[in-house]
Each structure stands twice: as structure tokens, then as C-alpha cells.
């Protein structure tokens, strides 16, 4: 059974803080993804990685960076958190064929 875990379910941070969200998958998937979910906007891709140390920008990468030092771990970094980054963050992994992705439970981040 595929398992994708995220480091926190709920997180409250102050404006300007550096925030790390971590994601670990146990299925040896090549691809890992970070999304944010906002009401009325669906799931929007922030960054994805198709291999260790490789990353590609998604649709909304501004204000975010990522790190993938090991195949099973993909981190999302908010260098200086802002209130408009308050959202639900979802990590996913997938083998790429046939495109199915497996999601973690999400991290509800609030920036005050």
C-alpha cells in the first residue's frame, strides 16, 4: 500500500518566517509533487521533481523553492512566508505511468 506522509498536519507561522514542509514516500516513485489547494481554484502545482536533485517549476512557483536530496523525500520551502501563502499544501508521488499520483494527507498552513 502506497504511503505518502507529510511532516505536519497543521502549522501556524508568522509573516517573514522560513517554513519547511517535508514529504516522504515509501514506494520508490521517481516523481514527486507539491500542490496547494485553495477554494475555487482546485489543486495548483507548485513544483515537481522527476529525479533526485532535479526539479521543475509548476504553475505557481513564485515564493517557493524545493529540495530533493533523496529519492523518497521532497521538501517545500517558503523562504519568507506571507499571508497569501496560507493554504492547504499537498504532496504527491507517482511512477509516471500511467500518471496516477498518490497524495499525502496535507498540511494546513496558516501565516499570520
Q: Which residue stretch of 12-20, 38-46, 61-69, 76-84 sits at the interface with another protein (rule: CB under 8 A)?
A: 38-46
| E strands in 14-86 | 19-25, 31-38, 42-49, 56-57, 64-70, 73-78
Torsion angles phi and psi, residue 64, rounded to 5: -125, 155
Give the residue from 26, 28, 47, 44 showing the smallest Cα distance to 36.
44
Q: Which of 1, 28, 40, 69 touches another protein (CB under 8 A)?
A: 40
Position 52 contacts another protein (CB under 8 A): no
Subset of 64-103 contacting another protein (CB under 8 A)? 90, 92, 96, 98-103
Least distance CB 62 / another protein (angstroms): 17
Position 41 contacts another protein (CB under 8 A): yes
Least distance CB 73 / another protein (angstroms): 17
Give, for 108, the enclosing helix (H) or strand (E). strand 107-111
Give the residue from 108, 80, 83 showing the smallest Cα distance to 7.
108
Look-up of cell digits 509548476 = 58
Size of the site for another protein (CB under 8 A): 26
Return residues touching another protein (CB under 8 A): 4, 9, 31, 33, 35, 40-45, 48, 50, 58, 90, 92, 96, 98-106
Amino acid at each position: 500500500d502506497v504511503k505518502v506522509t507529510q511532516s505536519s498536519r497543521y502549522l501556524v507561522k508568522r509573516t517573514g518566517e522560513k517554513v519547511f514542509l517535508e514529504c516522504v514516500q515509501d514506494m520508490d516513485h521517481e516523481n514527486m509533487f507539491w500542490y496547494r489547494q485553495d477554494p475555487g481554484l482546485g489543486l495548483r502545482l507548485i513544483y515537481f521533481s522527476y529525479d533526485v536533485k532535479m526539479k521543475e517549476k509548476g504553475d505557481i512557483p513564485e515564493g517557493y523553492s524545493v529540495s530533493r536530496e533523496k529519492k523518497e523525500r521532497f521538501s517545500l520551502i517558503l523562504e519568507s512566508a506571507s499571508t497569501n501563502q496560507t493554504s492547504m499544501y499537498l504532496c504527491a508521488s507517482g511512477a509516471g505511468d500511467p500518471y496516477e499520483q498518490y497524495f499525502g494527507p496535507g498540511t494546513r498552513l496558516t501565516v499570520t
